[in-house]
Amino acid sequence: MIKTREKGEVVIFDIEGEIRRSDLSETTLHELVKDRLESGTRNILFNFEKVEFIDSFGVGEILASYISTHNLGGKFKLARISKKLYLVFQVTMLTKVLEIFDNEESALQSFLTPR
């Protein structure tokens, strides 16, 4: 399940459960991000607090969302990733590409400062 909310100029995706290939009739994370980008949003934050599992499809969705945001001059960040999921990002070398924060507050603050 994915809920969205806004804080200032940042759209936060609160993701719950698993990020994996499932029923193709469901809207993917990347499609949700692209919809927000098309409407003018440039700051995207994924809140992983309630994410229990991510597979290679999910990693691809995260990377595609980052690339789409980055290509439009936006900022894409992740927050509240469990230690288990953080290992997935380390193994895939995405920790060198993505900005990952321990909590939402520091992630939101980082949008205010240039990288």
Q: Residues 24-49: pLDDT tens digits?
A: 557 889 999 999 999 999 999 999 99
Q: What is the pLDDT of residue 26?
A: 74
Residue 9: HSE in the Cβ half-sphere, 13 Å Cα cutoff: 11
CA-based nearest residue to 68, from 33, 27, 109: 33
At which residue do the structure tokens 């200032």 appear? 8
- pLDDT grade, residue 23 (50/70/90)? low
CA-based nearest residue to 86, from 94, 97, 75, 74: 94
More confident residue, 81 or 114: 81
| Strand-pair partners of 18 | 53
On whether the CB atoms of residues 95 and 86 are closer than 8 A, the answer is: yes
Q: List the chain domain ranges.
A: 2-20+27-110
- pLDDT grade, residue 22 (50/70/90)? confident
Please state which CATH class domain 2-20+27-110 belongs to: alpha beta
Q: Which structure tokens are listed for 34?
A: 């692209």
Q: Give the DSSP letter of residue 92.
A: T
